[in-house]
Amino acid sequence: MAVPVQPVEAGAAAAEVMAATVIAQEAEAVLVAVRDQLQVIRLIARAARATLGEAGRLLREDIRDAKILAADALAVVPALNDRDPQATLAAAAELVASVFSEAPVLPGAIGAAVDLVASVYAVPPPATGPLQEVRDLLGAVSDDHDRARNLFADCRPYLGIEEEGETWESWTSHRSQALLNGYAAEMRLNRAIWEAGQAVRVHRFYQVGSSRRGRRMKEAWKLKEIMRTVMEEVDAVIAAVVHMRYSIAGEIQIVRDSIHAAAL
């Protein structure tokens, strides 16, 4: 014969479920905020990527125009029947010298490109570049994500969710995927920031170095390679953040379903 549930016990159990529901709702709100912050991070990273793309374009134009000048120089090398071979050689030499001089083919192109890179990774004070801002936001997202986990873990037993049950395992799986993508985003972001700083350091090195012919072109090529790496890393950050948002959305849905089930 079943033992009847006493009103006091039933009331206490209902109060526990209600309190657990409130905690679960707080966990849901934190996760929603995390998802929204990840969208902000994605937009900031995309803006940084656009700036880096513009810097890369400036470098490519400088290199391309240098190649055009070099081709022009070769084109005017005198033929055997040229009327004034000395003048033609002088013109060719002048063009070649301009290609490998310290002055950019596009005035200020390299400097402008490096300024764009510096603005992207700027370290406070006085300014915070978008890549640094993304790093700060990812840190805050990580803290809030942990907080949501603790909240949901606290209320889990009172919502009828077993630790080894399907609901908890599914939620944990989504969380693990979010963590992995978060770690990937932070790792690739740190690489992007370091490489962006390296671009600035390379530019400074060539600014204060000797004036040997060809240094400007070497600088442009080195910066181009660095910029390609920076952009690849930022692209990877954006992809990781997108995947992280998907996983967070899965966590949110499970918490919502648990709240709904407890109310039945």
Please, which pLDDT band fits residue 43 given cuts at 50, 70 and 90? very high
Crossing angle of the two packed helices 166-208 and 109-121, in degrees rounded to 10: 140
CB distance 77 to 44 below 8 Å: no
| Confidence band, pLDDT 50/70/90 cuts, at residue 127 | low
**Cα 156 to Cα 159: distance, rounded to the nearest angstrom:** 5
Whole-number pLDDT of residue 249:
98
Confidence of residue 75 (pLDDT cuts 50, 70, 90): very low
Percent pLDDT > 70 in the chain is 70
Per-residue pLDDT band for 185 (boundaries 50, 70, 90) equals: very high
CB contact at 8 A, 92 and 77? yes
Residue bearing the bigger pLDDT, 199 or 31: 31
What is residue 252's predicted lDDT score, i.e. its pLDDT? Answer: 98
More confident residue, 90 or 191: 191
Query: Model-level pTM?
Result: 0.78
Q: What is the DSSP string of the chain?
A: -PPPPPHHHHHHHHHHHHHHHHHHHHHHHHHHHHHHHHHHHHHHHHHHHHHHHHHHHHHHHHHHHHHHHHHHHHHTSPPTT-S-HHHHHHHHHHHHHHHTSSS-SSTTHHHHHHHHHHHHHPPSSS---HHHHHHHHHHHHHHHHHHHHHHHHHHGGGGT--TTSHHHHHHHHHHHHHHHHHHHHHHHHHHHHHHHHHHHHHHHHHHHS---TTHHHHHHHHHHHHHHHHHHHHHHHHHHHHHHHHHHHHHHHHHHHHHHHHH-
What does the pLDDT look like over 90-107, one tens digit per residue?
554 554 555 445 444 444
- The per-residue pLDDT for range 236-261, each reduced to its tens digit, is 999 999 999 999 999 999 999 999 99
What integer is the mean pLDDT of 107-120?
A: 72
Greater confidence (83 vs 60) lies with 60
How far apart are the C-alpha atoms of 36 and 42, rounded to whole Å? 10
- Mind listing the domains of the chain with CATH numbers? 15-65+104-263 (1.20.120)
Q: What is the pLDDT of residues 208-230, one digit of tens each?
A: 655 555 566 677 778 888 888 99
Single-letter code of the amino acid located at 90: A
